[in-house]
Structure 1
Amino acid sequence: MDFNNKVVIITGASSGIGAAAALLFASQSAKVVLVGRNEAALKDVADKCMKSKGIKPLVVKAELSKDDDVKNIITQTINVYGRIDVLVNNAGVGVQGSIRDGIEPYDRVMGINVRPVYYLISLATPYLVKTKGNIVNVSSVAAFKPIKDMNFLPYCTSKAALDQITRCVAAELARDGVRVNSVNPGATKTPFVQAAGLTKEQMDDLYKVREKTLPLGKMAESEDVADLIFYLASDRARSITGSIFVIDNGEILQ
């Protein structure tokens, strides 16, 4: 599954699943575009990618809630590489809130998890059509079920919306040879829950509970999810589009 001369954009590439995916693509000779807010962390990931095959990644600092920053991702990529082969929409935030908390949590999470993805796909589509490329959206099992141990109504809603974007865009672009799929992780060992407002102690306690209660008795690692992203972006998945792939150690069965 060689990605030699393929250009791969990965949002949320500074840590967790995005960083793991970047390293995997880089190990297969991809020209990786690393997108995120933490410039220092992005540089660290870029250095690791560089060591793999000697191909220097393009680092794009972006706040996805800003339209100009979203546009700049595509502009810089085309200016440097002249093409886009794969778009991995991995960036996202976990926003806690209940229906009693008003509209603000909803607006905040949709402004990061949904609107920028929609816009970035729209901007990337002409280039993906030219290369017969593909899109992988990183969603969540939260698209299918409430997260019972955390009040995550806004987040669950955003991921359900993202899955429908995957299906609709896949249907629209199929005749152009562009595939669109989604990877939906369950509990995964990433900085996600801390970013959503939990302390490290709360995160550790949550992980212990999840590892005891998940059917396979463990949580996923970032590299597990990256492997699935990589497969769907590769030519081995050439007959797959509009599909939602759950990777959750059986969480959805509960």
Structure 2
Amino acid sequence: MSDFKGKVVLVTGASSGIGAEIARAFAKHQARVSISGRNKEKLSEVAEECRKLGAAEVLEVVADLSKENDVDKLVKETMERFENLDILINNAATAPLASLETATRELFDEIFDVNIKATVFLTQKAIPYLEKTKGNIVNISGLITKLLHLRFWLLYSMSKAALDQFTKTVALEVAEKGIRVNSVSPGYCPTNLIKSVITTSQEQEVFNTNQAACHPLGKQNLSVEEIADSVLYLASERAKMITGIRLEVDRGRALSRK
């Protein structure tokens, strides 16, 4: 995908997991990457990896996107360094467990501030720059909005469902500007996000094994590399006629009723 060479790509939630791998994937194609995350040390490690993999240039911006000032900071510093923007990857997410019984206003605000509000307002601020480059946006959603209805993931799944609606509505709104907006909806992938809510190694192993059994294609869980590959496809010129879709990348998980 040589069409990423020299392109400016902004990736949020890039200090670990899926976001970090997406940043590395664009780096391999000699993109100029602006990466954002809350953990300065981990973000710096990803930035160094991107440089070694061939990124044309790397900017790291430590930011908490639940804060409006940090959203402004991310856009400002990216534009000051690169002057334009070709691709926005909205990946930042948080997932504290909550059921209807345990949900609080604080938890609701925490999840929606990061998973929805940050995406909405970062996208809003990025649109004028993406219009100039006829760029595109890829949001990272989740299969949980379609297939899995889990008690303790109530607020997280609600936020991802809102993201799916946001993707389609905004795709329609900005199509006349020449901007594409799509989302990738991964099946289960073991990441630090999961580890943050399933805390013991034994429980993680059981959960990972059970999820793998539910994936008809290969009976194994997704890797971050496979998710990144799907993001690169949607962001590339090969997908230039695709907008407003929710691409399920799930090893056939949505086909299973387990």
Q: TM-score range by the shorter chain?
A: over 0.9
Give the equivalent residue in structure 1 for 2:74. Answer: 73
Give the equivalent residue in structure 2 for 1:131. Answer: 133
Give the equivalent residue in structure 2 for 1:251. Answer: 253
2:222 pairs with 1:220: yes
- Unaligned 5+ segments in structure 1 are none
Q: For the Cα contact (< 8 Å) 1:190–1:221, is it kept in 2?
A: no
Give the Å deviation of 1:178.
0.1
Give the equivalent residue in structure 2 for 1:187. Answer: 188
2:101 pairs with 1:119: no
Q: Which moved more, 1:44-53 or 1:57-66?
A: 44-53
For residues 122 and 197 of structure 2, the distance between their equivalents in structure 1, rounded to whole angstroms, comes to 23
Map 1:32-71; keep pairs closer than 5 Å: 32-53=33-54, 55-71=56-72
Give the equivalent residue in structure 2 for 1:161. Answer: 162
For residues 214 and 27 of structure 1, the distance between their equivalents in structure 2, rounded to whole angstroms, comes to 29
Give the equivalent residue in structure 2 for 1:12. Answer: 13
Q: For the Cα contact (< 8 Å) 2:26–2:55, is it kept in 1?
A: no
Give the Å deviation of 1:205.
1.6
Give the Å deviation of 1:251.
1.9
Report the residue type matching 1:251 in the other structure: R
Give the equivalent residue in structure 2 for 1:27. Answer: 28
Give the equivalent residue in structure 1 for 2:102. Answer: 101
Q: Percent identity?
A: 39
For residues 109 and 145 of structure 1, the distance between their equivalents in structure 2, rounded to whole angstroms, comes to 20
Summarize deviations over 1:157-202 as a string: whole Å, max 9, x none: 0000001110011000101100000000110021121123533332
Q: Which moved more, 1:222-231 or 1:188-197?
A: 188-197
Q: Which moved more, 1:94-103 or 1:35-44?
A: 94-103
Report the residue type matching 2:145 in the other structure: A
Report the residue type matching 1:119 in the other structure: F
For residues 162 and 215 of structure 1, the distance between their equivalents in structure 2, rounded to whole angstroms, comes to 26
For residues 78 and 137 of structure 1, the distance between their equivalents in structure 2, rounded to whole angstroms, comes to 20
SS of residue matched to 2:73 = helix
For residues 199 and 180 of structure 2, the distance between their equivalents in structure 1, rounded to whole angstroms, comes to 36
User: C-alpha root-mean-square deviation of aligned residues, in Å?
Assistant: 1.3
SS of residue matched to 1:100 = coil
TM-score where L is the length of structure 1: 0.96
Moved runs in structure 1, 4+ residues, more than 6 A?
none
Give the equivalent residue in structure 1 for 2:204. Answer: 203
Give the equivalent residue in structure 2 for 1:145. Answer: 147
Count of residue pairs the alignment pairs up = 253
Q: For the Cα contact (< 8 Å) 2:31–2:55, is it kept in 1?
A: no
Q: Which moved more, 1:29-38 or 1:204-213?
A: 204-213
SS of residue matched to 1:137 = strand
Give the Å deviation of 1:241.
0.2
1:68–1:197 Cα change, 3 Å: farther
Report the residue type matching 2:68 in the other structure: D
- Unaligned 5+ segments in structure 2 are none
Q: For the Cα contact (< 8 Å) 1:37–1:62, is it kept in 2?
A: yes
TM-score where L is the length of structure 2: 0.94
Give the equivalent residue in structure 2 for 1:91. Answer: 92
Q: For the Cα contact (< 8 Å) 1:145–1:156, is it kept in 2?
A: no
Q: For the Cα contact (< 8 Å) 2:12–2:91, is it kept in 1?
A: yes
Give the Å deviation of 1:145.
3.1
For residues 57 and 125 of structure 2, the distance between their equivalents in structure 1, rounded to whole angstroms, comes to 24
Give the Å deviation of 1:88.
0.1
Q: For the Cα contact (< 8 Å) 2:64–2:70, is it kept in 1?
A: yes
Report the residue type matching 2:124 in the other structure: S
Report the residue type matching 1:218 in the other structure: Q
For residues 201 and 61 of structure 2, the distance between their equivalents in structure 1, rounded to whole angstroms, comes to 29
